[in-house]
C-alpha cells in the first residue's frame, strides 16, 4: 500500500510566485524518481 502525504506551505506576502516555481520544480524531481503520480495536485 502506498503512502499519502500532505504538504502545506504559507508563503510570505508577495512570495507566492516564487514558492509556486520552487514547488513545481520539486514535483518534477519527485516524478523523475517515481515518488509521485500524475494525478493533479490540490491547491487553494
Question: Residues with Cβ < 8 Å from 18, sequence gap 6 or more?
Answer: 11
Q: How many CA atoms lie within 13 A of 32 on its CB side?
A: 6
Tell me: the pLDDT tens digits for 23-42?
889 888 988 998 888 887 76
Cβ–Cβ < 8 Å for 27, 36: yes
Neighbours of 12 (CB within 10 A): 8
- Predicted confidence at residue 13, as pLDDT, reads 97
**pTM (2 d.p.):** 0.62
Tell me: the pLDDT tens digits for 4-19?
788 888 999 999 999 9
Amino acid at each position: 500500500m502506498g503512502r499519502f502525504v500532505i504538504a502545506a506551505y504559507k508563503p510570505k506576502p508577495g512570495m507566492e510566485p516564487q514558492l509556486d516555481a520552487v514547488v513545481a520544480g520539486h514535483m518534477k524531481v519527485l516524478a523523475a524518481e517515481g515518488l509521485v503520480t500524475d494525478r493533479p495536485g490540490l491547491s487553494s
